[in-house]
Amino acid sequence: DEMRLIDSAEDSEYMATKVPDSNGCYVVPAFTGLGAPYWNQYARGVIVGITRGVNKYHIIRATLESIAYETSDVLSAMEKDSGVKLSELKVDGGASANNFLMQTQADIINATVVRPDCLESTAMGAAFLAGLAVGYWSSRDELRTVLSIDKVYKPAITEEERTKRLEGWNKAVGRSFDWVEK
């Protein structure tokens, strides 16, 4: 926002792909603390791993990667609590239009990410319910024929790479803890 690194959210994908990696840079977007699974209201956003070789493209890439890391943290907690292993993540909303982010998400969670043609699933769900209520569709089974998939992302990094990146993320998250006084 105030750093003005990009003009629009759409620019982030292009800029993130101008570099091959984040060059060891991590962004923890704990602007008002960290929610699940950390629950640390005193955490604050940090950018770590900056060297003279890190440029704005690395920071933009690290920022997008942070979304995937945060999602991974929540999914890991859910798996631990439920005992159910995630095999597929269905996504929607504006951020799901970002191909770089969706591939990174698949890589980090080590699961398939599925993006529908319609990115506004909430609105589509409301329309489906209204259509069912007035008889436009006769059953929920009929709705399954209406849904279509735009793109499927498969994990494309090694377990060693995933582990290395998650370890860096966890170290960065630790640096953000208790930044403000309690």
- What domains appear along the chain, each with residue ranges and CATH number? 9-176 (3.30.420.40)
- Average pLDDT of adjacent 10-residue blocks, the chain of 182 residues: 88 97 98 96 98 98 98 97 96 96 99 94 90 92 86 98 98 96 80
For the whole prediction, is pTM greater than 0.85? yes
Q: What is the pLDDT of residue 2?
A: 84
Q: What is the pLDDT of residue 130?
A: 95
Q: What is the pLDDT of residue 106?
A: 99
87-98 tens-digit pLDDT = 999 999 999 999
Q: What is the pLDDT of residue 46?
A: 98
Residue type (1 letter), 4: R
Q: What is the pLDDT of residue 38?
A: 97
CA–CA gap between residue 72 and residue 92 (Å, rounded): 16
Q: Three-state DSSP class for 47?
A: strand
63-73 tens-digit pLDDT = 999 999 999 99
Sign of CA dihedral 105, 77, 118, 4: negative
Q: What is the pLDDT of residue 149?
A: 92
CA–CA gap between residue 68 and residue 74 (Å, rounded): 10
Q: What is the pLDDT of residue 45?
A: 97
Q: What is the pLDDT of residue 140?
A: 87
CA–CA gap between residue 12 and residue 101 (Å, rounded): 9
Q: What is the pLDDT of residue 19?
A: 98
